[in-house]
Amino acid sequence: MDLRTRQRIDDFLKAKGLRKTVQRDAIVQAAFGTTEHYTAEDLLVMARKIERSVSRATVYRTLPILVECGVLREMDFGRDFKYYDPNFVDHPHHNHLICVDCDRIVEFEDLGINTMEDCITKRLGFSPRSKMVRIEATCDELHRLGTCRNRAKG
């Protein structure tokens, strides 16, 4: 895991007067030991491989800390649970395409859309905080060729 991410988290905890614990450490290691998107439940499983004592409640209490710290992005794809994205620091502007055929989530970056969003936000009299584009789509060629991996994990 990136040393700058680690440093940023340590600084954040110190600034907020939050303590370092083995559980938080395990959750952080797990959270940034992958580049995949994951759910709170996924993260619980991953963190428990590092430190058996980690509980569900602690995962749910740690996630918003990492989000507020700015190292993790929370994403709502319209399902009844949230996904978290650890690639936020390296790619802060990416957006998501969600395939309704196979549940795959494809990331993309597009500077043009970002600029447009900023313009629109200003025009409406607001200051942008966070922006997301969410495109639902179907598999196209992939689907026709029969290579669409149905129900793939997001």
124 binds, among DNA, a second copy, none (CB under 5 to 8 A by kind): a second copy
Token code pair at residue 54: 């980690």
By the 10 Å C-beta count (0-12 exposed, 13-18 middle, 19+ buried), 86 is classed as: buried
CB of 81 to DNA, least distance (A): 3
CB of 19 to DNA, least distance (A): 4
Q: Which of 15, 17, 130, 144 binds DNA (CB under 7 A)?
A: 17
Phi (first) and psi of residue 81, to 5 degrees: -145, 165
Using CB under 8 A as the binding rule, the residues of this chain from 128 to 147 that contact a second copy are 128-142
Our measurement of the distance from residue 45's CA atom to the centroid of its chain's CA atoms, rounded to an integer in Å, reads 17
In sign, the C-alpha dihedral spanning 66, 72, 76, 79 is negative
Binding-residue pattern over the window 74 to 93 for DNA, x denoting contact by CB under 7 A: ------xxx-----------
Instruction: Name the DSSP class of 102.
Output: T
137 binds, among DNA, a second copy, none (CB under 5 to 8 A by kind): a second copy
| 34: CB partners within 8 A, 6+ apart | 46, 86
Residue numbers at the binding site for DNA (CB under 7 A): 17-24, 39-41, 53-58, 60-62, 80-82
Residue numbers at the binding site for a second copy (CB under 8 A): 76, 78, 97, 99-100, 106, 108, 110, 112-113, 116-117, 120-121, 124-142
